[in-house]
C-alpha cells in the first residue's frame, strides 16, 4: 500500500466572492522513499493539496490515507497527534515564531514530539543549513532565504516520515538550493517521503515523480 493515498478528493472554497472549485475528484498514490514534485500555474491549487495531505484542511469529499490510517476518520485530537508524529511542514510563508531565535524555532518541534539528543540534532541541522552563525537571531533579523532554511530545519527536527514543503527553494540561491536538495535526498534515502510544490523546473527535475495540474487534478508527468 502507498504511504499516502488520496482517493477522489474534491475541494472548493466558498466565500462572499462566490465558489472556487480547486480540486475535482483527484486520486493519487504516493510512495515513501521518494521525492514527489507538484507543479502548475499560480493559484491552481498546489498549497491546497499540500494542506489537505498534511491534514491541515479538509476536502469536501474523498479520502486521505496516511500510513494506513484514514486521516479524516480520526478525531481532531488523534489527527493532531498523528500529524505531529508523521508530518513536517515547510509553509510557503514560513510561519516562524517571531519572538524565538533560529535555534529556538527549530527546537520548537520538540514541543509536539520529544526528540532524542535534541540539542545535538538541532546543531547538526543548523550546520547543514548554514545557519549556525545566525542561531541567536529572531526571524525579523534574517534574510528570506535564511528564514526558509529555518523552516526546513524545524520541519525535519523531529524526524517526520512525510515532509510537506511548499515552494521550499523560492528564496534560495543556487548554492542553498543544492544544499536543500541534498538534504531532501538524504531524507528520502532514510525512507522519508517528500511532497513539494515548486515553480522551479530545475528543482522538479531532481524529483523522482512529477505531477502537473490540469482541470482540478494533478496528473503524473511521464518520464
Ligand atoms: N482560504 C481560502 N479561501 C478562499 N479561496 C482560497 C483560499 N485559499 C486559496 N484560495 C483560492 O484557491 C485557489 C488555489 O489556491 P492555492 O493557494 O492552493 O494555489 P497555489 O497553486 O498554491 O498558488 P501559488 O503558486 O500562487 O502558491 C486560488 O485561486 C486561491 O485564490
Ligand atoms: Mg501556493
The three grid cell numbers given for residue 142, joined into one nine-digit string: 534574517
Ligand 1: residue whose CA is nearest its atom 4: 13
CA of 58 to the centre of ligand 1 (A): 14
Given a contact cutoff of 8 angstroms between Cβ atoms, the answer to whether 150 and 142 are in contact is yes
- Does the pLDDT of residue 20 top 90, yes or no? yes
CA of 11 to the centre of ligand 1 (A): 11
DSSP 98: T
CA of 120 to the centre of ligand 2 (A): 33
Q: What are the angstrom distances between the C-alpha of 33 and each of 2, 6, 68?
A: 11, 17, 16
- Does the pLDDT of residue 222 top 80, yes or no? no
The three grid cell numbers given for residue 189, joined into one nine-digit string: 534515502
Ligand 1: residue whose CA is nearest its atom 25: 42
Substitution candidate for ligand 1 out of 46, 169, 171 with most atoms within 8 A of CB: 46
- Does the pLDDT of residue 223 top 80, yes or no? no
Substitution candidate for ligand 1 out of 20, 23, 92, 168 with most atoms within 8 A of CB: 20
For residues 149 and 176, give the distance between their C-alpha atoms in angstroms, rounded to a whole number.
9
Looking up residue 20, the CATH number of its domain turns out to be: 3.40.50.300
Q: Over the stretch 71-86, which tens digit does the pLDDT of each residue have?
A: 999 999 999 999 999 9
E strands in 80-208: 87-90, 162-166, 193-197
DSSP 221: P
pLDDT for 111 equals 87
Q: Say how many domains are in the chain.
A: 1
Q: What is the mean pLDDT of the chain?
A: 95
- C-alpha Rg value of the chain to the nearest Å: 17
pLDDT for 90 equals 95
From the CA of 56, the nearest ligand is 1
CA of 162 to the centre of ligand 2 (A): 18
pTM of this prediction exceeds 0.85: yes
Question: Nearest 5 degrees, angle CA 147-CA 151-CA 152?
Answer: 120
Q: Over the stretch 96-155, which tens digit does the pLDDT of each residue have?
A: 999 999 999 999 999 888 899 999 999 999 999 999 999 999 999 999 999 999 999 999
Q: Which domain holds residue 145?
A: 4-220
Q: How many residues does the chain have?
A: 223
When pLDDT is averaged across residues 181-206 and rounded to a whole number, the result is 96
Amino acid at each position: 500500500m502507498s504511504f499516502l493515498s488520496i482517493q477522489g478528493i474534491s475541494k472548493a472554497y466558498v466565500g462572499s466572492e462566490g465558489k472556487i472549485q480547486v480540486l475535482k475528484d483527484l486520486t493519487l498514490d504516493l510512495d515513501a522513499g521518494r521525492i514527489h514534485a507538484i507543479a502548475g500555474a499560480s493559484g491552481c491549487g498546489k498549497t491546497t493539496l499540500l494542506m489537505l495531505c498534511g491534514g491541515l484542511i479538509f476536502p469536501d469529499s474523498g479520502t486521505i490515507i496516511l500510513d494506513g490510517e484514514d486521516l479524516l476518520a480520526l478525531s481532531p485530537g488523534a489527527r493532531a497527534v498523528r500529524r505531529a508524529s508523521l508530518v513536517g511542514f515547510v509553509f510557503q510563508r514560513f510561519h516562524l515564531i517571531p519572538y524565538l531565535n533560529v535555534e529556538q524555532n527549530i527546537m520548537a518541534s520538540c514541543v509536539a514530539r520529544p526528540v532524542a539528543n535534541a540539542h545535538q540534532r538541532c546543531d547538526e541541522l543548523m550546520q547543514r543549513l548554514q545557519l549556525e552563525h545566525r542561531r541567536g537571531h529572531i526571524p525579523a533579523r534574517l534574510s528570506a532565504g535564511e528564514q526558509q532554511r529555518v523552516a526546513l530545519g524545524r520541519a525535519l527536527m523531529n524526524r517526520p516520515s512525510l515532509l510537506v514543503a511548499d515552494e521550499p527553494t523560492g528564496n534560495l540561491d543556487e548554492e542553498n538550493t543544492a544544499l536543500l536538495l541534498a538534504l531532501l535526498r538524504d531524507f528520502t534515502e532514510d525512507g522519508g517521503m517528500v511532497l513539494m510544490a515548486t515553480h522551479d523546473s530545475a528543482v522538479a527535475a531532481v524529483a523522482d515523480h512529477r505531477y502537473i495540474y490540469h482541470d482540478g487534478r494533478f496528473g503524473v508527468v511521464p518520464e
